[in-house]
C-alpha cells in the first residue's frame, strides 16, 4: 500500500487524491436575515408581538440595534427592556411581559436560547472537503465521508476517522487513533498513539492528548521512567480548550466523559476520570488517579491531589487546593479546601490578623501583670 496516501481504503472519498492549489475555509459574509417566528421555532420559545420582522444578528443588551435580537435573563434586565435598542428580546417564559413594541420570545433559559441563536448567525466555517497533497497519511488509513485534512497534517498508521472530521493545519495523529464523526481538531493539536476520540468533539489549538504521565521510580540515586501503556478516551460532545494536556494512563485509561468542557491551559494527569458534563476552568490541574464526578465545576487555578474523589455536583472555588475527597453537592473554597461559607469568614479575618496580633500581645502583657500581682 502506498505509504504516503492510501485512498483505496477510503471508499467514501474519490478513488484518487483530491488536489487543491489552496486549502481554504469559507465564511459567510452575506447578511443573514431570519424572521422572529423562525427564531422562536429554533429555540422552542413563545413569541409575543409581530412575528414577521426580520432579524440580522444577535448582540448583547447594551450593543444591539433595531435589527438585532438580545436577551434579558434576570428581572433587572427585563425591567430595562425599554433601554435597549434591540428589535427583539429573549426573556424567561415566566417573567412579567413588559409593555413594549419589541418582539418578545419567552423561553425556559434565555442564556441557552441566546447561545443557539448566536450559532445560527455565526456557524462554524466550513472546510474544503478532501486531503491536501501536503498532508501525510499513513498505511491502513480509513475514513468516513466528507473529511477535511489541511496542509501539513500528519496521520499515522491504522488511523480511523469518522464522517465530516476536520483536521486543521499541523495536526498530528498517532498510530491506531480512532476519531468519531463531526470532530474538529484545530491547528497544532497532537493526538498520540491509540487514543480514542468520540463524536462531535472539539479540540482547540495546541492541545496534547496522550502524552506520558509523570511517573518515575526512584532508587535513591536517580529516577527510572515508568512506561505508560494506557490510553486517553474522550467521549462524545467534549470540548477541550487551547493548550490542554491530557496524559495517557499508566495502565488502562485517562477518561474524559461525555459533555465535559475545559477552558485553556488545563492539565489532566494519568488515569484521571472526569465525569459527564463537568467544567474545568482555566489552569486547573488534576493529579493522577483522581476522580471528578458528574456536573462538577472546578474554577480557575484549582489544584486537585491524586487518588481522591470529588463528588457529583460539587463546585470548587478559584485557586483552591483540594487535598481530600469532597462529597456530592458541596461548595468548597480555599487551600486547603473547606466549606465555602467558612472560607468566606476566614478571608474576612485575614486582613485583620496584624491588628488582632497586637491586641493579643497587649492582652498577654495585662495577664502577665495581673499574675505578677
Q: Where are the domains of the chain?
A: 34-121, 127-345
What are the tens digits of pLDDT across the range 121-142? 998 877 889 999 999 999 999 9
Q: Give residues with Cβ within 8 angstroms of 318, minimum separation 6.
A: 281, 299, 300, 301, 302, 333
What are the tens digits of pLDDT across the range 172-215? 999 999 999 999 999 999 999 999 999 999 999 999 999 999 99
Look up the CATH superfamily of 127-345. Answer: Hexapeptide repeat proteins (2.160.10.10)
Residue at grid coordinates 527510572: 224
Looking at residue 11, what is its pLDDT?
Answer: 36
Looking at residue 22, what is its pLDDT?
Answer: 32
Q: Name the catalytic one among 204, 270, 277, 295.
A: 270
Could you tell me the fold of the domain covering 34-121?
3.40.1390
Please state whether the peptide bond connecting residue 336 to the residue before it is cis, i.e. omega within 30 degrees of 0: yes
Q: Which three cell numbers stand for residue 7?
A: 485512498
Rounded-to-integer distance, Cα 65 and Cα 82, Å: 12
What are the tens digits of pLDDT across the range 315-363? 999 999 999 999 999 999 998 888 888 888 888 888 888 998 999 998 9
Residue 270 annotated as catalytic: yes
Rounded-to-integer distance, Cα 248 and Cα 301, Å: 22
Residue at grid coordinates 490510553: 231
Torsion of CA 242, 243, 249, 253, to 10 degrees: 0
Rounded-to-integer distance, Cα 308 and Cα 176, Å: 31
Amino acid at each position: 500500500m502506498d505509504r504516503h496516501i492510501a485512498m483505496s481504503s477510503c471508499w467514501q472519498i474519490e478513488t484518487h487524491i483530491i488536489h487543491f492549489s489552496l486549502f481554504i475555509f469559507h465564511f459567510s459574509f452575506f447578511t443573514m436575515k431570519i424572521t422572529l417566528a423562525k427564531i422562536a421555532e429554533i429555540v422552542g420559545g413563545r413569541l409575543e408581538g409581530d412575528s414577521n420582522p426580520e432579524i440580522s444578528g444577535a448582540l448583547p443588551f447594551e450593543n444591539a440595534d433595531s435589527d438585532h435580537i438580545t436577551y434579558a435573563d434576570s428581572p433587572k434586565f427585563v425591567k430595562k427592556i425599554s433601554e435597549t435598542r434591540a428589535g427583539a428580546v429573549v426573556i424567561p417564559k415566566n417573567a412579567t411581559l413588559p409593555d413594549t413594541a419589541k418582539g418578545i420570545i419567552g423561553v425556559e433559559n434565555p442564556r441557552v436560547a441566546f447561545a443557539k441563536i448566536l450559532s445560527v448567525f455565526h456557524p462554524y466555517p466550513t472546510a474544503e472537503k478532501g486531503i491536501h497533497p501536503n498532508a501525510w497519511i499513513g498505511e491502513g488509513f480509513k475514513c468516513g465521508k466528507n473529511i477535511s485534512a489541511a496542509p501539513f497534517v500528519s496521520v499515522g498508521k491504522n488511523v480511523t476517522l469518522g464522517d465530516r472530521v476536520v483536521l486543521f493545519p499541523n495536526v498530528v495523529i498517532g498510530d491506531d487513533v480512532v476519531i468519531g464523526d463531526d470532530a474538529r481538531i484545530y491547528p497544532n493539536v497532537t493526538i498520540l498513539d491509540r487514543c480514542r476520540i468520540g463524536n462531535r468533539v472539539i479540540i482547540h489549538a495546541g492541545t496534547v492528548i496522550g502524552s506520558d504521565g509523570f511517573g518515575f521510580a526512584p532508587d535513591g540515586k536517580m529516577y527510572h521512567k515508568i512506561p505508560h501503556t494506557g490510553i486517553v478516551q474522550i467521549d462524545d460532545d467534549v470540548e477541550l480548550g487551547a493548550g490542554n494536556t491530557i496524559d495517557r494512563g499508566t495502565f488502562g485509561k485517562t477518561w474524559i466523559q461525555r459533555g465535559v468542557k475545559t477552558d485553556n491551559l488545563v492539565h489532566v494527569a494519568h488515569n484521571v476520570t472526569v465525569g459527564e458534563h463537568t467544567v474545568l476552568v482555566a489552569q486547573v490541574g488534576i493529579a493522577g488517579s483522581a476522580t471528578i464526578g458528574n456536573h462538577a465545576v472546578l474554577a480557575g487555578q484549582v489544584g486537585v491531589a491524586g487518588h481522591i474523589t470529588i463528588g457529583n455536583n460539587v463546585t470548587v472555588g478559584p485557586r483552591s487546593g483540594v487535598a481530600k475527597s469532597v462529597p456530592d453537592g458541596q461548595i468548597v473554597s480555599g487551600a486547603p479546601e473547606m466549606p465555602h461559607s467558612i472560607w468566606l469568614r476566614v478571608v474576612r479575618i485575614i486582613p485583620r490578623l496584624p491588628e488582632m496580633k497586637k491586641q493579643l500581645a497587649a492582652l498577654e502583657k495585662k495577664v502577665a501583670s495581673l499574675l505578677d500581682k
